[in-house]
Amino acid sequence: MVSTSAILSVVSPFLLAALLPLAANAQAALTCGVLGWDALGAAPAFYAVNNPASATPAACKKLCQTPSITPKCASFAVGNSSCLLYTNSAANQVNANTGSLYAYYDVNCAVPAAVAFSA
Ligand SMILES: *[C@@H]1O[C@H](CO)[C@@H](O)[C@H](O)[C@H]1NC(C)=O
């Protein structure tokens, strides 16, 4: 009889070899600026700010990275004068739709620097 652990010891190095690149990939693959709506069944924003100054990727990312908020904030969406913060990754939150007013970003996305307006 072949024990389970004997089978695992043969299989697991192959499993690890197959899964490690996937894990590394998941870490690196960011969803940035994808237009859409909240995915059906996804938890709604846990925090929302409705004002144009907060509704830029740079300002909303900064809010998402505020120390008191950061532990929950995995992604954010901006549009329609709002900044919305989510616990889900952007990939899990967005139902892509190019007709949407909202663009979704993972918190680790590079976003355009805040633009300083001058008259
Ligand atoms: C846009 O924002 C307004 C005011 O907060 C809200 O009533 C409206 O539902 C929003 N529109 C969409 C498409 O989310």
**80 CA: nearest ligand 1 atom:** 1
Mean pLDDT of all residues in 63-91: 96
Q: Strands of 103-106's sheet, edge to edge? A: 47-50, 82-86, 75-79, 103-106, 32-38, 94-96
Residue 101 CB less than 6 A away from ligand 1: yes
Residue 50 CB less than 6 A away from ligand 1: yes
Q: Whose C-alpha lies nearest to ligand 1, atom 11?
A: 80
Kindly indicate the confidence band of residue 87, based on its pLDDT and cuts at 50, 70 and 90: very high
Mean pLDDT of all residues in 52-72: 95
Q: Residue 49, exposed/middle/buried by CB under 10 A (0-12, 13-18, 19+)? A: middle
Q: Whose C-alpha lies nearest to ligand 1, atom 5?
A: 50
* CA–centroid distance, residue 92 to ligand 1 (Å): 22
Are 114 and 58 contacting, i.e. CB atoms less than 8 angstroms apart?
yes
pLDDT in tens, 3-52: 555 544 554 554 445 544 555 555 569 999 999 999 999 999 999 999 99
Mean pLDDT of all residues in 56-81: 96
Q: Could you tell me the pTM of the whole model?
A: 0.75
